[in-house]
Amino acid sequence: MSFKIEHGLFKFDFTDHHAILGVPLDAEFNDIRKRYMKIARSLHPDSFQTDNPSDKQMASQIFSKLVNPAYAKLSSDRNRAEHDVLLGMMGKRLVQERDKIQLKSQAATELMKSRNLDEDYKKAIAQIAKDLYHSLSGSKKQIAQLSELNLVYLLRKESEGGGLGKKKRAKAQPQPKPEQPDSPPSGESPEDTNTSPTSPKSAKIADYCRRAEEFMEAGNLTQTVVELKEALKLDPKNSQIHGLLGMAYVKQNQITMAKVHINQALKLNPQESMANEAKKELVKQSKKSAKKQEKGSALAGFLNNLFGGKKK
């Protein structure tokens, strides 16, 4: 299945991540997260309900090539801020090229004439988004319709002097000055502790870990591991990252890798909650595996006695 979309903002070589997730352009992070989780539960290979292999493969491709990249872009504060800047630039471009814009969907045409832009825009997005990905073959058309709504909204906001960026900046609240982290205890060097919570690197790690936990919750363990490996490159001695990786590998039944990261996490921080939780899960799995082996051995012995007794 080709994922090339030629309407809405996509027509201007702009990847409309909001349209892919079915959220309005001014959506807050919590709404983006909830929307992603809903899509993940329906499209993820482990939860997608179908007897048709081609449909299962299509759902997997949509999830990995469209939905996951869109969420990765909009779930990070830094990436989302950069994307908002691009949206602002796109709004200005749309005003300049207004005469070239041809709308295909009825919803976008009506929105262009709406007297209640913000309200009607939100309603139109919600109406299409509620059925998004219910029909895999129709998903491209729905994304294109959503992106046309986004195009009209951006164009009108910029034309009317509001601009999407101005509205978002008006919502922003001044942030309190972060407190300086306490100095490490005597005899303990800064390298022995997790990254300072106020550093830019720590913010990136927090983004990776947050996304990893959300991917894990959605059952997307492959992407969970990808996010955590990226975080580990920034801080190889971070106990939280190792703990999360340990849990991800436990869930994937990769016992050896799970043990490596669980042990490393507990070595760095014996109180690491996720590592301790993963350790408990690992013990449970080991006990279940041992019971299965015992049953298997008992059955094999019984069959051997029944059919393969000693010859006289």
The per-residue pLDDT for 166 is 53
User: How far is it, in rounded angstroms, from Cα 59 to Cα 84?
Assistant: 28
The per-residue pLDDT for 64 is 87
Range of the structural domain that residue 32 is part of: 8-171
208 shares a domain with 167:
no
Closest to 16 in 3D by CA, of 127, 137, 97, 132: 132
109 shares a domain with 37:
yes
Q: Which residues, given as ranges, of the chain have pLDDT below 50?
A: 169-193, 312
Question: pTM value?
Answer: 0.67
Q: Which of 136, 171, 206 is the last residue of a domain?
A: 171
The per-residue pLDDT for 305 is 60
Inter-residue contact 83 to 74 (CB < 8 Å): yes
72 shares a domain with 111:
yes
27 CB contacts (<8 Å, ≥6 apart)? Answer: 18, 35
How many domains does the chain fold into? 2
94 shares a domain with 232:
no
Q: Is residue 279 part of a domain?
A: yes
Structure-token match 């709404």, residue found: 31
Alpha-carbon Rg for the chain, nearest whole angstrom, is 25
The per-residue pLDDT for 57 is 86
Closest to 144 in 3D by CA, of 3, 238, 280, 32: 3
152 shares a domain with 12:
yes
The per-residue pLDDT for 201 is 86
Q: Which of 133, 154, 171 is the last residue of a domain?
A: 171
The per-residue pLDDT for 193 is 44
203 shares a domain with 148:
no
237 shares a domain with 162:
no
Query: What are the pLDDT digits (tens) for 263-299?
Result: 999 999 999 999 999 999 888 887 776 666 665 555 5
203 shares a domain with 167:
no
Q: Which of 171, 205, 235 is the last residue of a domain?
A: 171
Q: Is residue 188 part of a domain?
A: no
Closest to 220 in 3D by CA, of 20, 75, 60: 60
Q: What is the dihedral of CA 294, 296, 299, 303, to 10 degrees?
A: -130
Q: Is residue 137 part of a domain?
A: yes
* Count of CB atoms situated within 10 Å of the CB of 56: 16
Burial, 35: exposed, middle or buried (Cβ in 10 Å; 0-12, 13-18, 19+)?
buried
157 shares a domain with 208:
no
Q: Is residue 157 part of a domain?
A: yes
Q: Is residue 118 part of a domain?
A: yes
Whichever domain contains 210, its CATH number is 1.25.40.10
Structure-token match 């079915």, residue found: 22
Burial, 163: exposed, middle or buried (Cβ in 10 Å; 0-12, 13-18, 19+)?
middle
109 shares a domain with 242:
no
Q: Is residue 181 part of a domain?
A: no
257 shares a domain with 117:
no
Q: Is residue 16 part of a domain?
A: yes
The per-residue pLDDT for 187 is 43
The per-residue pLDDT for 116 is 95
The per-residue pLDDT for 106 is 95
253 shares a domain with 152:
no
Burial, 219: exposed, middle or buried (Cβ in 10 Å; 0-12, 13-18, 19+)?
middle
Q: Is residue 269 part of a domain?
A: yes
